[in-house]
Amino acid sequence: MTHTLLAAEGALPAAGVAQSAWLLLALPLFGAAVLLLGGKATNKWGHLLGCATVILAFVYGLTLFLSTTSLKAADRIQELHLFSWIPVDSLSIDFGLRLDPLSLTFVLLITGVGSLIHVYSIGYMSHDTDRRKFFAYLNLFVAAMLLLVLGNGFVTLYFGWEGVGLASYLLIAFWQHKPAAATAAKKAFLMNRVGDVGLAVAIFLMWANLGTTQYTEVFAKIGTLDGGTVLAISLLLLLGACGKSGQFPLQAWLPDAMEGPTPVSALIHAATMVTAGVYLIARSNPIYDLTADGRLVVTIIGTVTLLIGCVIGCAYDDIKKVLAYSTVSQIGYMILGVGLGPVGYALGITHLLTHGFFKAGLFLGAGSVMHGMNDEVDMRQYGGLAKKMPITFATFGLGYLALIGFPFLSGFYSKDAIIEAAFGQEGWRGWVFGGAAMLGVALTAFYMTRLMLMTFFGEQRWKNLKSSDGRDYHPHESPAVMTVPMIILAVGSVFAGFLLTNGNFLANWLEPSLGELKEAGHPPLPAAAMTALSLGLMVVGVGLAWLFVGRKPVPVTKPERVSWVVRAARADLYGNKLNETLFAKPGEALTKGLVIADDKAVDGTVTGIAGALAFLSSRLRRTQTGFVRSYALTMLGGSVLVVAALLMVRFS
């Protein structure tokens, strides 16, 4: 419990380089302000300013990181007090920054990946008349995200949390002339609100029970609460995490959010913002350490989500939606990881980092493909693009291999560690969570291979097609300003996993924040066997995908489906439409089921309540008749009730 002790002792005041940490927030905020207030005057150089602020922030973050590594492990938690934000006698909220290994890790991820994506966007958005505004929103997002991870209390975190929500809303709806984009933005906004309520109530509970919301004090005092309250807080925090990170049952907004420009999908909806939930749980580790039940719920949510994401990913033909469900599923892994407690916090963060690299790379690759394909997203219209876009293919391929856990690439190290830790749980949990995570490996391999095959290999189906706006397809490689970030991310996808896990580098570095990484309990299988098993499953997934997609030409339109599993099994012998029947159909059915559940149960409840309230309202407002005498009667009735109630309370 090293970290609890540290927390109890409180953090050290920031010194040296760390005293300028406010720059991290100020730089992107300055960029956003200049670009938004400057108006059209900044059109010419706005994108450059947008990139410059984030790159500067990255450089500063790197300096800060290096200066922190030179400190003793115990001195690595620093606090920078900025000003008293909300001081009322007993409610005093300071606005301060917490600079510790966990937040610095995120700073590097956000500004690093953020810089690359900013640069990429110069090319991607070059034809957009509103490019300046796009960069302003991106800068705003970076500032809010940094505030989220750097804040030294839950209220500051909440502030950043809402800020990234706002930026995400603005960016999803960036092309608001598309009705789908506007709807998706609204959906994201609403579903995030559900999670936010959970987070807000959790903060209220802390405030009510502990009288503080600063991390150091909350973590120091949390042990004094009874188990029920801690459980409630942990579940409410989890609800917040589910909303922001697209976890079951609040996952539906994330795929829709792909209506936004692709760099946004890469930065916000793959690498950074959606991982805020993981950050929240990891940051609150002293709370989760106290409640095994809370952690169990976290792991269950993570497991369910990772399976749902995989299964649905198998059914989509839209390249970005497949990647989006893949994100849902991978965050499921991370949530599963941090849900395991002290044996998993660091593993979840490790996977978060590697995923940040390869998923951002994959999205940028997908963006590059769309850039060359008239913004078409249907993979059935692609095919054989490898020759036309060699760099995109290479970088995308490396990201793909990293994602499915190909040996010695990033995903291999980070994902397997989580699977092993999951197997190490006691009793049935080990088998269930480990097994599910293992199954996920096969499914991931399947849908990603399907994506690769449909996009880059096979017949060049686009030759005989026109895009929906009537143009022919002329696929071409993207300009250097786009490919260079992709290459850098691809390099990261290859090496990050090894570098981070070699000698437990990341886990040791994070120890002051997350506590020591414990060894998983008693895995039922030896580690080598598990690695072999997961590799085997991966190969099976890849093989199946090749069998069902790679061998036969891919139909340009979705084929008619047979309706019975028996006929599907028979068709299997001919290898005919097997892809569709065995995987897509159940997947689709499941998807449809989930969509129906989503529409009918979740949306239904929301719209139902809204409808009921509107109906109630339209009826009740008729009671406001406009007759002054009926108003007087209402008042008299109210007065009689108030007086009668008072007398009843007194004399009963």
Partner 1 sequence: MQEQFLAQAQQQVNAPDIAYGAIAPVLIVLGFACLSVLVEAFVAKERRWGLQIGVAAAAIVLAGASLAAFISSNDAAGGPTGKTGVTTLAGAVSVDKPALFLWGTLLALGVLALLLIADRTVGGDMQTEVFPLFLFALGGMMVFCAANNLLTMFIALEVLSLPLYLMCGLARKRRLISQEAAVKYFLLGAFASAFFLYGLALLYGYAGSVKLADIATAAVGTDRSDTLLFGGLGLLVVGLLFKGSVGPFHTWTPDVYQGAPTSVTAFMAACTKVAAFGGILRVLTVAFQSTQWEWRGVLWGVAIASMAIGAIFGLTQTDVKRMIAYSSVAHAGFLLVGAIAMNTDGLSSTLFYLLAYGFTTIASFGVISLVRSGSGEATDLSQWAGLAKRSPLLAGVFTFLLLALAGIPLTSGFIGKFVVFSAALRDGMAPLVVIALVFSAVAAFFYLRVVVLMYFSEPAEDGPTVSVPGAFTTVAITLGTFVTLLLGVLPGFVLNWASSGGFLS
Partner 2 sequence: MTPTYYLLLSALLFSIGTIGVLVRRNAIVVFMCIELMLNAVNLTLVTFARVNGQLDGQVMAFFVMVVAAAEVVVGLAIIMSIFRTRRSASVDDSNLLKY
Which residues are at the interface with partner 2 (CB under 8 A)?
A: 621-622, 624-629, 632-633, 636
Q: Using the minimum distance from each CB to partner 2, give the nearer residue, 127 or 621.
A: 621
CA–CA distance, 80 with 25 (Å, rounded to integer): 13
Side chain identity, residue 431:
W
- Shortest distance in whole angstroms from residue 616 CB to partner 2: 14
Least distance in angstroms from the C-beta of 510 to partner 1: 30
Q: Are the CB atoms for 522 and 157 separated by under 8 Å? A: no
Q: How far is the CB of 221 from partner 1 (least distance, A)?
A: 16
- Identify the bridge partners of residue 606 per DSSP, sorted by sequence position: none
Q: Which residues contact 488 (CB under 8 A, 6 or more apart)?
A: 116
CB of 635 to partner 2, least distance (A): 10
Rounded to whole angstroms, the Cα distance separating 26 from 505 reads 31
The interaxial angle of helices 154-172 and 276-283, nearest 10 deg, is 170
Tokens found for residue 648? 């009843």
- Of the candidates 91, 532, 539, 589, which one interacts with partner 1 according to CB under 8 A? 91
Question: From the CB of 617, what's the least distance to partner 2, in Å?
Answer: 11
| x-marked contacts with partner 1 along 168-207 as a string, rule CB under 8 A | --------------x----------x---x--xx--x--x
91 makes contact, choosing from partner 1, partner 2, none, with CB < 5 to 8 Å by partner type, with: partner 1
Question: Which one, 564 or 627, has the nearer CB to partner 2?
Answer: 627
162: nearest Cα among 135, 196, 186, 133: 196
Under rule CB under 8 A, which residues in 131-160 are in contact with partner 1? 158-159
Residue 622 site contact among partner 2, partner 1, none (CB < 5 to 8 Å, cut-off depends on kind):
partner 2
CB of 205 to partner 1, least distance (A): 8
Tokens 């999205």 belong to residue: 363
Structure tokens of 362? 């994959």
Nearest to 376 by CA among 443, 302, 469: 469
* Residue from 104, 100, 102, 92 nearest 12 by CA: 100
Picked from partner 2, partner 1, none, the partner binding residue 528 (CB below 5 to 8 A depending on kind) is: none
Asked if 348 contacts 282 with a C-beta cutoff of 8 angstroms, the reply is yes
Taking CB under 8 A as the criterion, the residue among 86, 539, 589, 601 binding partner 1 is 86
Nearest to 439 by CA among 545, 353, 532, 311: 311
Question: Residue 625 CB, nearest distance to partner 2 (Å)?
Answer: 6
Given partner 1, partner 2, none, residue 614, with its beta carbon under 5 to 8 Å by kind, binds partner 1
Minimum CB separation from partner 2 for residue 615, in Å?
A: 15
Q: Identify the three-state secondary structure at position 517.
A: coil
Write the DSSP assignment of 314-382 as a string of letters.
TT--BHHHHHHHHHHHHHHHHHHHHHTGGGTHHHHHHHHHHHHHHHHHHHHHHHHHHHHTTT--BGGG-
Using CB under 8 A as the criterion, what x/- string covers residues 601-620 for binding partner 1?
Answer: ---------x--xx-xxx-x
What is the distance between the terminal CA atoms of the chain, rounded to a whole angstrom?
Answer: 54
Q: How many other CB atoms are found less than 10 A from the CB of residue 622?
A: 7
Residue of 40, 70, 72, 90 interacting with partner 1 (CB under 8 A): 90
Vertex 593 angle, CA 592 and 594, to 5°: 90
Nearer residue to partner 1 within complex by CB, 502 or 624: 624
Q: Provide the phi-psi class of 407: left if phi over 0, else alpha when psi is between -120 and 50, else beta.
A: beta
- Binding site partner of 560, from partner 2, partner 1, none, Cβ cut-off 5-8 A by kind: none
Please list every residue from 37 through 56 that binds partner 1, using CB under 8 A.
none
Work out which of 45, 408, 505, 631 binds partner 1, going by CB under 8 A.
631
Q: Is the link from the previous residue into 479 a cis peptide, with omega within 30 of 0? A: no
Q: Quote the tokens at residue 472.
A: 């022919």
Using CA atoms of 4, 417, 400, 557 in order, give the dihedral in degrees to the nearest 10. -100
Shortest Cβ 558–partner 2 spacing (Å): 51
From the list 67-75, 83-91, 431-439, 481-489, the region that binds partner 1 by CB under 8 A is: 83-91
Q: Which is nearer to partner 2, 69 or 630 (CB)?
A: 630
- Per DSSP, the three-state class of 73 is helix
The contact mask relative to partner 1 for 236-275 (x = CB under 8 A, - = no) is ----------------------------------------
Contact present, 454 and 383 (Cβ < 8 Å): yes
CB 618 → partner 2: shortest distance, Å?
9
The residue among 609 and 632 lying less far from partner 2, judged by its C-beta, is: 632
Least CB distance from residue 140 to partner 2, whole Å?
42
In order, the DSSP letters of 225-285 are S-HHHHHHHHHHHHHHHHHHHT-TTS-THHHHGGGS-HHHHHIIIIISGGGHHHHHHHHTH
Angle between helix 319-339 and helix 276-283 axes, rounded to 10 deg? 0
Q: Which segment (18-26, 518-526, 571-579, 639-647) binds partner 1 by CB under 8 A?
A: 639-647
Please tell me whether residue 573 binds partner 1 under the rule CB under 8 A. Answer: no
Closest distance between partner 2 and the C-beta of residue 644, in Å? 15
Shortest Å, Cβ 641 to partner 2: 15
Q: Indicate which of partner 1, partner 2, none lies near residue 634 (CB less than 5 to 8 Å, by partner kind).
A: partner 1
Q: Which of 144, 156, 232, 242 is nearest to 194 (CA)?
A: 242
What is the nearest approach in angstroms of partner 1 to the Cβ of residue 498? 41
Please pick, from the candidates 2, 19, 84, 224, the single residue that binds partner 1 as defined by CB under 8 A.
84
> Distance (Å, rounded) from C-alpha 104 to C-alpha 1?
21
Q: 69 vs 630, which CB is nearer to partner 1?
A: 630
Residue selected from 44, 83, 560, 573 as contacting partner 1 according to rule CB under 8 A: 83
The residue (of 464 and 630) whose beta carbon lies closer to partner 2 is 630
Size of site (CB under 8 A) for partner 1: 47
Give the whole-angstrom CA distance, residue 221 versus residue 230: 11
Q: Which of the listed partners (partner 2, partner 1, none) does 22 bind, with a CB threshold of 5 to 8 Å by partner kind?
A: none
Tokens representing residue 111 in the block: 């500004």
Interaction site with partner 1 (CB under 8 A): 83-91, 158-159, 162, 182, 193, 197, 200-201, 204, 207-208, 610, 613-614, 616-618, 620-621, 624, 626, 628, 630-632, 634-635, 637-639, 642-643, 645-647, 649-651
